[in-house]
Structure formats: C-alpha cells, structure tokens
Chains A and B, each alone.
Chain A
Amino acid sequence: MWKPIMSLAFAVLVTPAVAQDAAPADGEALSVAELVTLLEGLETKSPYPQRHWRADDPWHIFKDLSMEFVQLNDRDGNSVPGLKYDYSRVFGKVEREQTEWSSFMRLTSAGTIAFDGDVRPRDFLESELTWRVSFGRGGITSPSDSARIRGLRDAFREHADADADADEKAAAEVNAMSYIERRSGESEAAFEARKQALSDKIAELAKRRTEAVLAAATAESEAELLRSDEYRMLSSAAEAVMENQWHFDLGLHLGLENDQDFSQRQYTFGLASSLEFKAWEEQSWLPYANVVDYPAAFLRMLTGRDEGFEPGGEHFPILSFDISQVAVDRNRARAGAGDDDDFLRAHFEASYRAPIGEIGENLYYLDAGYHHYADLDPSGAIEAAELDDYDYFKVELSTTEGVFASIDVGQLPFEARDTTVVSLGYRFAGRPSSTR
C-alpha cells in the first residue's frame, strides 16, 4: 500500500525541483528506482538553500523538510528501500535585547519508514509542536549583555596590566570601551569623539584578527597549524572571551507518536524542558567531570586524535525531560495488558555524541542515546505487564558512510517487551557519500 502512495507523493513534491532532463514523461508515475535517481541527482549538487527555494516558489513551504532514501536490512539480510524524513521549522522567535531570554515555537516531525511493512526500524515516528521560553548564557559574550561587558572590562584591565601581547592589550582597550555611555557633563562632541575612538580600535582589532585567520588558513598540516603564531594568538584571544555555556528551555508541547502504518498512535500534551552545558573555559576541571566521555576520550587518545586523555567539556550529554498526558488512540501493548486508558507519563532523554578518531577522510563518531519512560500512576494491569517503567538505550559507531555498528537495547512506546538488536556492517545511508 505504501509504495504507490509514496511514489505518487514524491512525484508531486520532487518533480518541480529537479532538472528538466530528469523529469518523467507526462502521465508516467515514477517508480521507486526513478525517484532514487532523481534524489541522488539532487544530492550530488550543492544544497544551497537560498538558491533552491524562492519565497514565491510554491514548494517553499517544504524548504525545512529533508528526505533521504535509505537501504534497510530485513531479518534475512535483504536490502529493502525506506525513507528517512526530518522536518523542523522554528517560527515566532522573539529575542529580548539586553537579556539572555528568548521564546520560540517549533514544529518538528521525524522518522524512518520502511516500504516493506515487515521491516520496522526501531525509531518510531514522532511529531511535535512546542512553545518554549529559553535562557542562554556563556560561550562568547554578546554585545547586548552590558553587565557582562563591564565585568570583562575589569578583568581585561587587570590582564592588560600583566605581560600580555599586543592583541590582548588591544582587546582590553576595546572591551574597556565597549560599554559606552555619555558621561555626566560630557559634551556631544566629546562623546562622539570617544565613540569614534572605539570604532577605530575595533577596526584595528578586526584587521589584526582577519590577517591572522587568513595566515592560519594556509597551514598544510596540523603540526604546522599548532606552531603558527597567528593561530596561537587567535586561540588565546578566543579563550579569553569564552565562558562556560548554558542553555535551558521550558515550555509546552503537543505531540503525536505513531508507528509506521499509523495503526498505533497516541497524542501527548504537557510540559517539556531541555538543558545543554558546555565547559569552554580552559584550565578547568569541569571536562573531567564528564565521565560519559571517558570511553571516547580513551579511544581518541589511542587513535591519535588527541595527544592525551582529554575528556571534552563540549561533549556533555544534552538532556531533555517532559511530563505529558498521553491520550491513547491505539496501543496494542497496553490494550493487551488490559488497560489502554489515557495516562500521565514522564520521559527523560540524554543524547551524547563525540568523535573517536579520524582515518584519512573518514571521521568516526560515537553516538549514544538513553530514554526512560515512566507511567506516573500505573494501574495494576500495567504494572503486572511491566509497561509502567522502561528504558531504551542505543549506541552507534558511525563514519562518513553511515552507521557501521550499533547496539540498541530496551523498549520503546508501542513495544511490549525489551528487545536487543546488534548490527554490524549495517549500511543505513542509501546514497554514496560525496566528496569535494
């Protein structure tokens, strides 16, 4: 049933966006193979969004939709086609000047569909509309944060008094002048002159840093780059203005969870939040608190990507949490247990990603995800069926060509029991990687 529907849908969606010489003859439905050819033709070209989608283009509303044909393996090891889709659109974003707060709405939908109904990738399909208020702090300082600039001004003044190099002294002067307001009794001319002096200092610093980055870009090897005075100056200057970074958001969400043929689905509504932290400050102990990164840090040392054992402050897992009222439309696992009423559920997710090595052009990453689901007021039937509290954990080793080893263990919504799947040499991406 899915094959002709998806073929027709993609013929309608994709045909206007591809070269005329790849378009099917009038009146012909596209086969899956022809659609793959069309999309492969797209994927070898530069996906330069502004050049693809014009505001008057009738397909403009799909500009935030990514689709990819993939090859999936069934239980017998046969390749079957599938479709991976990912839609994400932020709208209504409001950023409050002079603060670190913002709000936004986001509509997302993602999943993987196998054209053969007997092959069911474990990631079930999720769609969500969410409204969040977010707070972000740290990283490189923002010009709107006048209080932080005042603090940096004082810090740079102390640093400039030490044996700092020319760039840091210039930066200290600029930052000392960044928070600039007209002083009491100061004439308009004097105020304008001070602002002009600031502008000249910024231009001087911009020139120095631009020349340095262009020089650093000429390095022919990592060793040469690390020896480069220009690169070391830029790195030191960046380090001086970066703080540990926090992002936190909280809001409402409305979601739809379903399996691939929509025979099972449930709606969710509730509160959701997320937290991201990155430890940017050098000479800090915080990266060593990231024990999740220890295995990857050890592999990075073995593969030579890092010189020593260096857990990454940028590799802290991203955490998400939601409490939702789940309105069950159809859930076979819960119905089989004798209770498919609506229920209140807590869901926690931790997502981790870190590099483990590079060999030639291939980058190797370790991705891990953990989910915990808990029915907050389970009935006896749900408890007896062990559907009240379950986990799902997935680890993937991936490279440029796709996932080459993965383990996923546990249970997802709509599943009645734990399952363990180990995949080796599993080619997830249906298209060859393109190199430039």
Chain B
Amino acid sequence: MPDPTPAPWDKKSVPCAVTWFTLRRLRQHKRIFKTTGRLKMNQLLFWHSSKAARDIARDTLVDQLDAFFTEFFYAGYEPGVTRSNAKKALDATMKKEGASVADLAATADAQYDFFGEA
C-alpha cells in the first residue's frame, strides 16, 4: 500500500540540506532551500523529454550524488548498505516523475550516514 506520509523537508536536517546543496551545485535547480523540497524530479535539469537521454543523465547524476555525499560531505553508508545499494535506491527515487526532492533527501537519509545527523 502506498505510504501517505509526505517526506519531511527541514532546514535543520543534514540529509535535506546536503541534498539541496548538491543538486544546486550540480545545476539541477537554482533555488534556496525552503522552496526546493517540493520540486519534482521532472522539474530538475536531468529530466530530458527523451527517455534515452534521461536514463543517461540520471545515471551520471546518481554517480555524482553518491560522490558528493561521500567525498565532499564525507558521509558513510548506513549499516548493511553498500555503495551499489545506495545508488540503486537514489536511482529508484529519481525514476519517478512525481517524486520530490524531499523524497530524494529521505532516500539519501535512509542510505547514507551523514555527519551530525540525529
């Protein structure tokens, strides 16, 4: 059954703030934090109308998100999560046209152990 609870978007949340900054740095949007959470995947730069191009852009964006989280913000992976699994999870969220950036941050939160997160 679908989960009716919207993903949180909180400026005090490390996964949310990191996801916002990383997507902005990768030019997927150009917004301040508070208006980014509700952006949908089809409102980000990678969402080409061509499916073939969209798949390519999404693949490379997932790689860059993982690299930013782990090599710029020095996040680790949650116990039991591998780099491959984490990237698959990000990819699964980003495939959904109606998924929001808040949803993507929630996925990142579940996969990555960010410094300083509660």
Contact = CB atoms under 8 A, between A and B. Distances in A.
Chain B binds chain A: yes
Interface of A: 17-19, 42-43, 45-52, 63-64, 66, 68, 86, 88, 90, 93, 95, 106, 108, 110, 126, 134, 136, 139-143, 202-203, 205-207, 209-211, 213-214, 216-222, 224-225, 234-235, 237-238, 241, 245, 247, 249, 274, 276, 305, 312, 314-315, 318, 320, 349, 351-355, 358, 361, 363, 367, 369, 394, 396, 398, 400, 434-436
A86 B51 contact: yes
A64 B58 CA distance: 14
B64 to A, nearest CB: 5
B77 to A, nearest CB: 13
B93 to A, nearest CB: 6
A369 B97 contact: no
B1 A209 contact: no
A142 B71 contact: yes
Interface string B54-92: 111101100110011011111100000000100001011
B98 A434 contact: yes
Contact of A353 (B12, B40, B45): B45
Given A17-B2, A139-B67, A210-B116, A351 B43 contact: no
**A-B residue pairs, 7 tightest by C-beta:** A351-B53, A51-B3, A436-B38, A206-B74, A351-B50, A217-B33, A206-B115
22 contacts: A18-B2, A42-B2, A45-B2, A47-B98, A47-B103, A52-B2, A63-B92, A66-B97, A68-B97, A88-B95, A139-B64, A140-B68, A213-B73, A214-B14, A214-B17, A241-B71, A315-B45, A320-B56, A363-B43, A369-B48, A434-B98, A436-B9
B14 A210 contact: yes
Contacts of A358: 30
A352 B48 CA distance: 7
B30 A305 contact: yes
Given A210-B114, A318-B56, 10 more contacts: A46-B100, A106-B55, A140-B64, A141-B67, A210-B115, A213-B14, A219-B32, A238-B68, A247-B60, A398-B49
Contacts of B30: 222, 305, 355, 358
A320 B103 contact: no
A234 B110 CA distance: 24
Interface in B10-34: 11-12, 14, 16-18, 20-21, 25-27, 30, 32-34
A203 B95 contact: no
B118 interface: no
Contacts of A142: 67, 71
Given A46-B3, A64-B95, A435 B38 contact: yes
B95 A66 contact: yes
Given A45-B2, A95-B84, A351 B96 contact: no
Interface residues on B, range: 35 or more
B63 A46 contact: no
A111 to B, nearest CB: 9
A211 B116 CA distance: 9
Given A45-B4, A51-B3, A400 B43 contact: yes
Contacts of B51: 86, 88, 108, 110, 126
Nearest to B106: A48
Contacts of B67: 139-142
A127 B36 CA distance: 34
B85 to A, nearest CB: 11
B108 to A, nearest CB: 12
Given A140-B67, A142-B67, A369 B49 contact: yes
A66 to B, nearest CB: 6
Contacts of A203: 74, 115
Given A140-B64, A320-B53, A367 B48 contact: yes
A63 B107 CA distance: 16
A207 B97 CA distance: 34
Given A49-B96, A214-B12, A400-B43, A139 B74 contact: no
